[in-house]
Amino acid sequence: MLTQNRYSSILLIGPPGVGKGTQGKMLGAIPGFFHLATGDMFRSLDKESEIGLEFTRYSSQGLLVPDFLTVRLWRQHVAKLISRELYSPANDILLLDGIPRSKPQAESMRECIDPFIVIHLVCKDIDEMVRRMQKRATEQGRPDDTDESIIRRRFEVYKEQTAPVLACYDDSLISNIDALGTQAEVLLRILSEVVPAINASKK
Ligand code: ADP
């Protein structure tokens, strides 16, 4: 849904390994939702292109790609999705997974997204997240998740740069969701917050 020329959006925020991608994919399979994960956007780049090389340079160290580059690429990516009629702002809710990931990103995206709910996935069990990331590293060949010191760096980056993004949105928009449990249980918790929020946003 396009509200005042801004994309009607749901933000998925949470530390690495908390299950944003897993939940985002399941939600994205529901008609009317469009899942956009910036990790996937970056990984789909030609690895030898200038921006592909930049991505590898930062992600392999557990760092964020610079804000300016990220937001520029994200805007181009959304424009492409719209022109290919894959994402329709007038009909679909944009489910953003992995962006905004820093306060400057949240600020520069303010003019184009209208988040009506922020799903904050919370997991107190860091060992469980590390286990999930190491499992994913072998399954998906992700070099940023193989080395334990890089994983630790990613948690630090989350605490320092991404967690403060929550303060950019009104408290009433934030839903804290326990990310421990089966995929179905977590999905149920998310949907039980999202569906009433969609209905309320239509009123
Ligand atoms: P995870 O799901 O484990 O949190 P992602 O797949 O979303 O990780 O992202 C992988 C890497 O891509 C990040 O560590 C970072 O280097 C880069 N990245 C993804 N989204 C952003 C963003 N919004 N800003 C900067 N870098 C990003």
| Tokens 């421990």 belong to residue | 180
Q: Probe ligand 1: pick from 44, 59, 60, 140, max atoms within 8 Å of CB?
A: 59
Q: Whose CA is nearest to atom 2 of ligand 1?
A: 16
Alpha-helical regions (H) of 46-160: 50-59, 67-83, 103-109, 126-140, 148-157
Please report the pLDDT score of residue 11 as a whole number.
98
Number of domains in the chain: 1
Residue 19 contacts by C-beta under 8 Å, 6 or more apart in sequence? 121, 123, 132, 179, 183, 186
**pLDDT attached to residue 179:** 94
CATH of the domain at 176: 3.40.50.300
> How far apart, in whole angstroms, are the C-alpha atoms of residue 193 and residue 107?
25
- CB-based contacts of 161, cutoff 8 Å, min separation 6: 64, 101, 102, 103
- The pTM score is 0.92
- The 10s digit of each residue's pLDDT in 129-164 is 888 888 877 787 776 677 788 888 999 999 999 999
pLDDT of residue 143: 67
* Residue 144: predicted pLDDT: 67
Which of 117, 113, 119, 120 is closest to 8 using CA atoms? Answer: 113
User: In the chain, which stretches have pLDDT less than 50?
Assistant: none
pLDDT for position 3: 58
The residue segments making up the domain with residue 172 are 2-201
Please report the pLDDT score of residue 131 as a whole number. 83
Q: Which protein residues touch ligand 1 with a CB less than 6 Å away? A: 16, 20-21, 37-39, 42, 58-59, 63-65, 70, 98-99, 101, 105, 144, 154
Tokens coding 26: 């399941």
Task: Give residue 2's pLDDT.
Answer: 58
